[in-house]
Structure 1
Amino acid sequence: MPTLTTNEVTLNYETFGDATKPALIFSNSLGTNYGMWQKQFNYFKHDYFVICYDTRGHGNSTAPQGPYRLEQLGNDVIQLLDHLAVEKASFCGISMGGITGQWLAVHHPHRFNHVIVCNTAAKIGQESAWLERAAAVRANGLSQIAATAATRWFTERFIQSQAAVVANLSHDLAAGSVEGYASCCEALAKADLRADLNTVQIPVLVIAGTQDPVTTVADGEFIQQQIANSQLFAIDASHISNIEQPQAFNQAVADFIQR
């Protein structure tokens, strides 16, 4: 696997497709790795130069001592695009990757043609809850978080019908870096873009899961209302909508970036 060492972190990444085609980069959610995008990179690699990476502290990227900041998560994306000599890309991020995408749209709009933010919010949850989770993970590991993740990530019908998929994702979470997970919780604790979104001018698609208990449709509507050149797509899924409803997800993304 190719890697990039920058900003005290080594990022694990993979590319798919022809580097001469338009670039499309995917950013994973908390507690997952870039493998969560398999149904996306297989779909888009024929028409795009697809870039997937493990967020710092996740997958096969390293987990430097935290806490991390949202600015670091965003700048890792810019460094990766620079490394790959990609001047401009479309970006798609989910949950933690979605708030990273909002930060990029605010601070580096010239690097992106489109930004798609999925199952996310301008501020995700409460600072105290994230800091408590970070402390609990550092004290007790990730097994307890992993044991209950499925009910936050997916609808009950998906959990029942796709047990192997759910088990693999839960296993990946349990096997992840404690420091990386906790440090990203600390980044999310401080991340708040509610006052900044009205400066965004580039096209933004907001995908919201109608059954998402973590980041609700109302959270998605807030983002859409703040950004002038944006639209909202509601999808019949819970929090990890790209895995639960890959066909509808892929079609929404494709339609948006082709327009």
Structure 2
Amino acid sequence: FFSMQPNGVYISVASHQSMTQGSSESVAEPDSRKSLPIPKSDLEATSVPSLGEKLGPNFHQQSAPTMSIFDGRIVVLTLRKDFILNAWAKIHAKLEDLTADNASSLQFEIQVILEEMDGKGVDISPLKDLLTSLFELATSYDQARSTLSDKVMDVEKSESFLNAKEYLDLVLIEKGEKVEKLSATSQSLKEAKEKVKQLRALRGVVKKEYEEIESRVSSAEEEYRRCSDVSLATADDLADVEMKNQHLEATLKDLVNYNLGLD
């Protein structure tokens, strides 16, 4: 946490890169620590009278017998570390809500927190450099967006754009009409397919009825042929009867005209 040097007291503070997200504590790797000199004001703050003022009226009763100047320095440094970590937690919470479109909006608030952290005598330059780079990029992004927006507005006001937009609107209207027509045609086709399906079913019924009537016609024709044979047979008999009838009538006539010749 800290080390003693011949020319003063140095503390080791973890770099911002070793802090874990959403945590109020951080552990620094040996190669990521940086030894910082404690300002004179902090050395004075670790004196027993100063600590007594900070820790309350019961300080001498509770801590004086056991707390050394060395322990007081640890308390001060711990409080300082907690303050830095809490300040970073506030910054981290704000960064989590940022997007590319609103990154520059919190620059002032975060800058205020950084200034408070600076006042604790801890080197936070790596963190400040990262945040400075972030807000420079955010400012550049905002400027680029503004420039793009201005150019878009200029384009939208140009005659060529207005003509193209008017033509596009006309084409979209025509497209809408074609879509409606296509939809109506598709519906008609669907209905026609359903009607074809019904007609095919009806054709099957009619075909079956046709086959049945064909069978009946065949039976009728067969019956007719049999009847025709009977007619031919009776025609001969009819001719014989007719001939005998004529013969009978002739004989009867002869008898009527017969003259006995007995005079």
Q: Mark yes or no: TM-score above 0.5.
A: no
* Structure with more strand by fraction: 1
TM-score by length of 2: 0.20
Q: Normalised by the size of structure 1, how large is the TM-score?
A: 0.20
Larger Rg: 2
